[in-house]
Amino acid sequence: MRKKTVLITGGGRGIGAATAKLFARNGYVVFINYKSNHQAASRVADDIAAEGGECYPIQADVSKEEDAIKLFSSLDQRVDQLDVLVNNAGILRQQSRLENMTASRINAILLNNITGYFLCCREAVKRMSTRLGGEGGAIINVSSGAARTGSPNEYIDYAASKGAIDTLTKGLSKEVAAEGIRVNCVRPGLIYTDMHADGGEPERVKRLESKIPMQRGGQPEEVAEAIFWLATDKASFSTGNFLDLSGGL
Ligand code: NAP
């Protein structure tokens, strides 16, 4: 029986890296995409290889159409079928009120966090859809609890980009439901990763812990478990659904 395959965008660090390791431990051939941190992605691939798994890092800025197309073409050269796409490559910028946000900042966030997800969904659907000769598959979009809260005083632009991912999940899940593709979404709350440093506050999760009903932030591995479940046949009747991983927040 052929090994299942997964592509995880932004798989070099944080939630994506934890997800890559979990899929590899479960026998998947794992492709991880990253934008610029080659060292981090290589480390993930080495860790997986050390455990006997198979992982291929691929550089691509998924928000650029030509890069997204090249990313999927390089997958085509290695495997016959893509079973799972985890759309996870997201960014945020310095915490700020809306009145101080420039158009270039807003556009950069929307381009990266929305267009990148759309392009990867498009390329995955072309390969997975039974209507187009594929074997079906699963797409998991990593949104954020920010889509619900709106992230006032921190990054409304980021939160709005995640709101768009929720809508993408709903629409696409219905569009391809009869073509063997399930499209679901996880919405992490406050997770310990390097992303918060990009907002100018590396210790943000620590500061907000007392506001979380479970009184702690989440670990990337806890998000990975939910993503993995949604990818497997155990979630066979789940599509267009949302799993909030927020410790009750
Ligand atoms: P992270 O540690 O900052 O890692 C982000 C990853 O995405 C990196 O591998 C980065 O590549 C990659 N990336 C970003 N833009 C890319 C692009 N255009 N093309 C290719 N790769 C790109 O982030 P994280 O905290 O794990 O977040 C992962 C996802 O979870 C994001 O979508 C984020 O919005 C969401 N999320 C996170 C939290 C949280 O508290 N951490 C909460 C809710 C939702 P390089 O390594 O090359 O830079």
Can you tell me which atom of ligand 1 is nearest the CA of 67? Answer: 19
pLDDT in tens, 196-215: 999 999 999 999 999 999 99
Which pLDDT score is estimated for 239? 98
Q: Does any ligand 1 atom lie closer than 6 A to the CB of residue 202? A: no
Specify whether 158 is catalytic.
yes
> Ligand 1 centroid to 136 CA: how many Å?
26
Annotate the chain with three-state secondary structure: CCCCEEEECCCCCHHHHHHHHHHHHCCCEEEEEECCCHHHHHHHHHHHHHCCCEEEEEECCCCCHHHHHHHHHHHHHHCCCCCEEEECCCCCCCCCCHHHCCHHHHHHHHHHHHHHHHHHHHHHHHHHCHHHCCCCEEEEEECCCHHHHCCCCCCHHHHHHHHHHHHHHHHHHHHCHHHCEEEEEEEECCECCCHHHHCCCCCHHHHHHHHCCCCCCECHHHHHHHHHHHHCHHHCCCCCCEEEECCCC
Q: Does any ligand 1 atom lie closer than 6 A to the CB of residue 158? A: no
Q: Does any ligand 1 atom lie closer than 6 A to the CB of residue 34? A: yes
Domains of the chain: 5-245 (3.40.50.720)
pLDDT in tens, 157-211: 999 999 999 999 999 999 999 999 999 999 999 999 999 999 999 999 999 999 9
pLDDT in tens, 25-50: 999 999 999 999 999 999 999 999 99
* Residue of 28, 56, 158, 192 marked catalytic: 158
Pocket test for ligand 1, best of 38, 67, 91 (most atoms within 8 A of CB): 91
Report yes or no on whether pTM surpasses 0.95. yes
Q: Does any ligand 1 atom lie closer than 6 A to the CB of residue 218? A: no
Q: Does any ligand 1 atom lie closer than 6 A to the CB of residue 76? A: no
Closest Cα to atom 6 of ligand 1: 10
Can you tell me which atom of ligand 1 is nearest the CA of 92? Answer: 34
1 pLDDT higher than 90: no
> Ligand 1 centroid to 171 CA: how many Å?
23
- Share above pLDDT 90 across residues of the chain, in percent, rounded to a whole number: 100
